[in-house]
Amino acid sequence: MTKPQIRAPVTRERAIRVAVALADAGGIESLSMRKLAIELGIEAMSLYYHVKSKDDIFDGMLDVVYSEFATPQAGDEWRSAMHTRAESTRSVLALHPWAISIKARTSPGPATLGHLDSVIGCLTAAGFSMPLIGHALSMLDSYVLGFALQEATLPLDQSGNISAVAEEIMAQQKAMADVFPNLATMATSLILQPGYAYGNEFDFGLKLILDGVADEFAAETTK
């Protein structure tokens, strides 16, 4: 006689982890309180003993995502730390693309606040003024989030290559060169060239931003 399987107790933390897995598998639109309750093996109404609302779930889910970002520490070399953080953020958001869409409607949790506090602490310890920290984080976070959004919405393969789709478009629309000549030129001279991958553009933009921050930091420290 087989023993009955022991069910893991339902907690807010477990509910959020399961919600993350469901969103990873089917997108944020597929996540419902009813589906989450079924996955946890409880009734939908029982879920509210552990979480306040769906927004509470979203808050926790985004906090899980922030906990996966590489977090700079005070004493780290600032440029290397910001570069690593940016690459890590992009990689994590590629695993959890739904996080981009819920970021604006969530309240920051302890992992989110702790991450941001450590980033600020790293730049403060390096000698950045608070206004420059604000400028740097605004530029870096806007760039990384925007790039991650582009990668989540463009028809890219796992290597970041878009050429297969571009080839299909060019094949179906022979007149494209007459109507949109600049797009046609870009497609044939860049996107369709061997080895091109949109994802490789990330490092180019990140370097420009970090170079600009470095210049401002140098100017600030020589005043």
Residue 221 lies in a domain: no
* 76 and 141 belong to one structural domain: yes
Residue 183 lies in a domain: no
With 50 as the cut, is the pLDDT of residue 107 above it? Answer: yes
pLDDT tens digits along 162-216: 655 666 666 655 667 778 888 888 878 887 787 888 888 999 999 999 999 999 9
Q: Please report the pLDDT score of residue 163 as a whole number.
A: 59
* 117 and 96 belong to one structural domain: yes
Which sign does the torsion angle of CA 85, 149, 23, 53 carry?
positive
With 50 as the cut, is the pLDDT of residue 26 above it? Answer: yes
Last residue of a domain, one of 155, 176, 210: 155
Residue 128 lies in a domain: yes
* 73 and 123 belong to one structural domain: yes
* 89 and 128 belong to one structural domain: yes
Q: How many domains does the chain have?
A: 2
pLDDT tens digits along 112-126: 999 999 999 999 999
With 50 as the cut, is the pLDDT of residue 53 above it? Answer: yes
Predicted confidence band of residue 1 (pLDDT cuts 50, 70, 90):
very low
* 38 and 110 belong to one structural domain: no
Q: How far apart are CA 168 and CA 164, in angstroms?
A: 6
CATH number at residue 42: 1.10.10.60
* 47 and 67 belong to one structural domain: no
Q: Please report the pLDDT score of residue 180 as a whole number.
A: 83
Residue 149 lies in a domain: yes
- Domain interval for residue 23: 6-51
Q: Which residue has the higher pLDDT, 42 or 143?
A: 143
Residue 214 lies in a domain: no
